Structure 1
Amino acid sequence: MSLNRDDIANSPALDLPRNLRFGLAANQRHHSTRDSICFDWLRASELSIQALGIELHTVGRTYDAILREGLLTDYHGLVRYPYGRDGGLMKLVARITETELEADSLDGAIYLIDPVDPSSIFPEALALKRQCITHKKPFISTMAGAIEWIEVERLHAGLHAHSSADALFDLSQQCAALIAHDALKDIMLDFATQHFEVLSSFAQRVATGTTGKLLNELAWSRGWPTDMPWVQRYLSGPMGGDAQIADLVLERQCQKVIFFEDPHVARQHEADIQLLERAVRVVTREATCVTSPAVANKWASAVALRNLR
């Protein structure tokens, strides 16, 4: 069932403490033509954004492109920031670090990344992702992820499911990758324990090295058939497991990557981690990536809510 404009007019105030605020930026390729992914995302999610009253704090060139395309016309929640070259993306990083009580704080960032655009590895781009992870806020870098997260917010606000997200929430047609750095493996196990039914509804699950071993042991302890692995194990990350899963993503055999990253330690296989993230962005219309436990828990809870309605 899709949302129409009467839904917006008749929607309750939702009792939110304040409007949600997301930083928004897109690399040039993603807002240069009418069928660019920034515009396709907004066409899919525009009515939901308005129904929820989400503020989009938008870096200058992306803001200009949205208006040029005639999207979110006269919408009060579209807020312009400076161009990236004038510090617009840097300002988003600063707003992510602020608390919810501060006037300009952001609840997350939607940065639609072109994996071959050199600006995607500028310090402010890397810092935006790192601070989102540190402050337990979503960092969304693909079109599929942006559609999915607006739906997550809809569901948690008590609105009915939107048809634009149906395919993304049909887990029976998807594969999920479950990956956790050493310091977060126990948290991954807690996440899998809490949301075992949701994760079991994926058609397939894959994992790297030790994380996969621990997840299989957990599943068997919960009654999963002992002659069947709950996750298919690949090599450990440092030995090439991230690269193996990146290949699955590129071959459209893995659609969701749940990757609990520890932003406070040096990673010897940093290049492999970036390779996996880049693969997700290559298939931006199909793949999503979650990089922190708080965000993963909110996503899984939204899946459960959607299944109840």
Structure 2
Amino acid sequence: MRLGLAANQLHHAQADAALFRWLRACEAGVRELDLGLHAVGRTYDAIQRAGHLENYAPLRRYPYGREGGLMKLVAEVVGLGEGRVLDGAIYLIDPVDPSSIFPEAIALKRQCVIHGKPFISTVATARDWIEMERVHAGLAPDPGADSLHALETQTMALIAHDAMKPQMLAYASEHFDVLSRFARRVGTGTTGQRLNELAWSRGWPSDSAWVERYQSGPMGGDAQIADLVLERRCQRAIFFEDPHVARQHEADIQLLERAVTTRTDEAACITSPRVAARWAEGARLRKARR
């Protein structure tokens, strides 16, 4: 398995920066998985200077971003043949760095979503992904990840664009047991209502909402949930995005995405049904092995 790897300057400029917090928590897991990391120039150089992943052959250096390194990751997420295929990308985003909205940065996320591959933009999501892949590989759960996976203490946001609402309902139906473990679930407008109707049909008490509903996305629901993330009252989001349509409330959606990356150590986000299903299966396996 191979992932592209990039981090905005903020996230590798200091010894306690986000890139290094992730590596300190997950370097052992990266090595256990023999995970290929294809790192854009400055990110690779920072890892080398900090002394992480020493003598780790699957760590490869790509050109600097200004020389096309991030563009090459986008192309390899799509797939170029001859072994030039990435299984997803870790891009630790600084939400106020202008490079995070450069075309290649936006395209990296979009192509991951289109191809059903993980797009990982926060430390929490990166830690979560490593632990889930360890579990899928048959390895014992890492006690260091227990707090991250204490779902019973967390809030999950469930959001879907109009074209993705059927996939969200199907996902919630298949993984109702895992999603019901959360202390609280929140959602926007129509998606929240349909999820409540699904839950009631599954025996959830009819006088109790399975999902706490906020406004619809265009009416500000994304902004309301972004505020929960910023206040550390929502730790996870599953946001099924439709990358093929223009988004009339683009600024509101970006607000939620920026809130998640602002809380990089606490907020985890998944943006495609395939990745979300693998996460739920891993969460189920991890609980069974504790």
User: Which residue is equivalent to 2:13?
Assistant: 32
Aligned with 1:76 (options 46, 51, 57) = 57
For the residues of structure 1 that align with 2:244 and 2:144, how far apart are their CA atoms? Answer: 36
Determine helix, strand or coil for the equivalent of 2:195: helix
Q: 2:142: which partner in 1? A: 162
Paired amino acid for 1:89: L
For 1:237, what is the secondary structure of its paired residue? coil
Identity of aligned residues (%): 67
RMSD over aligned CA atoms reads: 0.8
Say which of 240, 248, 252 aligns to 2:228.
248
Distance 2:82 2:264 in 1: 32
Alignment match, 2:183? 203
Match of 1:280 among 260, 275, 280: 260
Provide the residue aligned with 2:112 in structure 1: 132
* 1:118-267 aligned within 5 A: 118-267=98-247
Among candidates 32, 35, 44, match of residue 51 of structure 1 = 32
Aligned amino acid, residue 72 of structure 1:
L
The alpha carbon displacement at 1:164 in A equals: 2.5
Summarize deviations over 1:123-147 as a string: whole Å, max 9, x none: 0000000000000000000001100
Q: Report the residue type matching 2:240 in the other structure.
A: F
Q: Aligned residue for 2:42?
A: 61
Segments of 5+ residues of structure 2 without an aligned counterpart are none
Q: Secondary structure at the match of 2:27?
A: helix
SS for the counterpart of 1:279 is helix
- CA displacement, residues 5-35 of structure 1 (integer Å, 9 cap, x when unaligned): xxxxxxxxxxxxxxx1000000001001100
Instruction: Determine the C-alpha separation between the residues in 1 that align with 2:61 and 2:143.
Output: 29
Number of residue pairs the alignment of both structures matches: 289
TM-score, scaled to structure 1: 0.92
Query: What secondary structure is seen at the aligned counterpart in 1 of 2:20?
Result: helix
Q: What 5-or-longer segments of structure 1 have no aligned partner? A: 1-19
Structure-2 separation of matches of 1:162 and 1:108: 23
The amino acid across from 2:268 in the alignment is: T
Structure 1 segments of 4+ aligned residues over 2 angstroms from their partners: none
SS in 2 for 1:169: coil
Aligned counterpart, 1:306: 286
Worse-matched range after superposition: 164-173 or 191-200: 164-173
TM-score normalized with structure 2 length: 0.98
1:22 paired with 2:8, answer no
Deviations 1:200-233 (A, max 9, x none): 0000000000000000000000000011000000
